A and B are shown apart, each in its own frame.
Chain A
Amino acid sequence: MYDLIIIGAGPAGITAAVYAARKRMSLLVITKDVGGQAAISGDIENYTGYQFITGPELAAKFEEHMRRFDIALKENEEAVELKKIDDKILVRTNKVSYETKTAIIASGKRSRELNVPGEKEFRNKGLTYCATCDAPLFSGKVVAVIGGGNSALDAALQLIKIAKHTYIINIASSLSGDAIMREKINESEIVTVFNNTQVTAIFGDKMVTGIKIKREGKEEDLAVQGVFIEIGLIPNSEFAQGIERNQSQEIKVNCHNETNIPGVFAAGDVTDVPEKQIIIAAGEGSKAALSVFRYLARA
C-alpha cells in the first residue's frame, strides 16, 4: 500500500510529487499525460521567475524537476474510480487497481464537448480541441472556431496566420475575452464573426466538409474544412466516488486542500479554488502534499 497516490501530472500534481518525494513518502503518480493543460498553453508571461516561457517548455521544466526524484510514474494511465473503503483508498485505473493511505486528486480539466451530431465521428478528421497542436495542418483552408472566450480568440489568432478564412461561431451576443485579442480579430479581414449563432451538427465525408449553424431562427450550412472547438473546460472529477462537488463539478476543498473524504485531498484546476492559473495550481499542489504529510503523521 502506498502512502500517497497522486492522480494527474500537471502543475499541481507534479509540484505535489516533488514535495511528497522530499518528504520521502512512498508515492505513485498516475496520469494520462505529463504537463496537463500547461503543456498545450501558448506563451506564458506570468509564471514568476520566467518573464517569458512557452507552455511546452515550462511543462518540460516541471517534468525534469519531478524526474530528479525516483518517483514511480504511470503515464498513459487514467483513473476511472476512486473510493474509500474503511481506512484504505482504492484507485482503479483503465489498467489495474492500487491501494493507498491518501490520495491527491490533481486531474485538472478537459475540453468541453459541443454534444452535437458528427462531433465524435470527425474528431481528428478536421475537428480538434487543440489549436496549438493542430492548427498548422489547416494551412490555406477555411475553418471555424466554435466559442467566444479567450481560448476561442487565441485559436482564431493562431489560425489567422495559417488559414485562408476563419469563422468564429459564438453563441453569445458578443465576443468575450481580452480586449486586446478582440481588437486584433476585428482588424483582420479574413475573420468573420457570427454572434448569436449555434452549431447544430458537423458533417463531412472522410473528413469534415462543413457545419450546420442556426442563427436568427434559420438553419444553414457553412462549408469549412476545419472545426476548432473552444467552448471552455470541465473538471475531470467524475471518477471520485462520494466526493463533494460544486455546481460546475469542481471538487470542493478547504484551505488545507481537504475534500469531504478524510485522506482524499485535491489541488489545481479540478478544485473549486478560484482562478485557474499555473502558478496557483503549483502552489495548491505543494499545499496538498504538505497536508498529506501532516495527515499521515497524525494517523
Chain B
Amino acid sequence: METSLKRAPDKAETRHKPSRPCTREDFDRVRRVLGRKVLFTQGDIAISYGALLAGCRFFAGYPITPATETAEIMSRLLPRVGGTCIQMEDEIASMGAIIGASWTGARSMTATSGPGFSLMQENIGYAAMTETPCVVVDVQRSGPSTGQPTEGAQGDIMQAKWGSHGDYELIALSPSTVQECLDLTIKAFNLADTYRVPVILLTDGIIGHMREKITLPEFEEVTITPRKQPSTSKEAYLPFADDGTQIPEMSTFGTGFRTYITGLTHTENGYPSTDNQPNHDRLIRRLCDKIRNNRDKIVEVERDYEDASRGETIGIVSYGATSRSVDYAVKALRQSGIKIDHLRIITNWPFPENEVVELAERVGRIVVPELNLGQACHSVREAVAGRCEITPLWKIGGEMHTPQEIMDAVRGNSD
C-alpha cells in the first residue's frame, strides 16, 4: 500500500552543518541581504556584517550600550540568511549559548560591553578549557561597574586576557576603523576555528558608534579557515588528542563522533581526570602553547617607521581608536621635523612582544597613549625591559586623546 506520508527532513541535515562557513552561495545570499557594496555605517554594524560574511549563523546576546547595534543587526539579518539569533536572559547565558552552538558546527558570536563582559568571564574560561571556537565582541565603555554607558574607553585590555581564572591563552584584536571592524571580525572567526579558542574583538564605544565608509568584500577576497574535522573513524576519535599541532580535531555534535566536554581537567577522551598532576600539566600547557607557539602567525601589527638613527627618533605604540589621534599627530610632528616611529597593535593578545622589542631598539623613548589608567603599557614595559624610556599617556572619561595631547607627550611637554 502506498503511503502519502513524506519523510520529514532530517533536522541534523537542515540545521547548522559542520564546516559549512560561507560557501559562495551563502556568501552571495548575505551580500544580497546587505545591499550596496559601499556603505556609510557604524563599527557595531560593520561587525555584524563581517560576522555574516564570515559564515556566522548563531548569535546570542543581551542588549547593552554601546554594543546593542551589533545584536540589533544580527536579530534582523540572521533569520534572512538561515541563521538563529536569541536574546538571552543575561550575558552569562549568552556566552553559554554560543559555546553550545559552536559544538553544533555553527560559527557563533556574542556582543557586549564592560558589565556584560565581566559576566561572561566564567564561560570564556570554559570556552578556553573546552577549546570551543567562538567570537566575543567587547565594545568597551568607561568602567568599572556600569560607569559611563555612552562613552568609549579602552579599560578592558587586561580583562580580555586575564578575566577568567587559571592559566589560559586567547586571542584579542583591536580595530581602529569601521572597515577594520568588518575585516577583523572575519579574521576573528578564522582564528577561533584555527586555534580552537575564544577570540575577543576588542573595540570601543568610539569606533563602535562611529560611522565611516566601508566597502564590502567580494567572495574571492575573503579567506575562510574552517575548523579541523576528525580524520579518524568514529570509534577511534579522541576529542582532545594532540595530533602534533597542539590543536585537536573538532567533531560536531550529532554527527556520531562521541564527544564528552567538561570544564574539569580532562584526558584525551574528554573525561575528567582531576587528581593527576601530569595530566593537568599536559593539558594546560598545550592550551597555552597552541597560542604561544603560534604567536608569530597570529600577531598582526602595522608599522609606520622612518629611516632615522636611534637618537633622534621617538616611538609611539597605540591600538584601537587611539591610533586615529596618533596618526593625525604623527603627520603634524613629521611636518615640524620630528622623527616618529608608530607601531599600531592590531593583535592585543597574544601581545606582540617581538615587535615592541624591535621598536625599542630603534627609538630613545616610547609614548603609549591609552584610554585607561595604564594597561597595555604594562606589556610594553615588560617587552621593552629597559631598552628605552616609556612615557605612558592615560586619559579616561569618554573623550579620545586630541592630536595636541599626543604631540605634547612626544615633545615632552606633558607631565
Do the two shown chains form a genuine complex with each other?
A: no
Q: Which residues of B contact A (CB under 8 A)?
A: none
Interface residues, chain A, CB within 8 Å of chain B? none
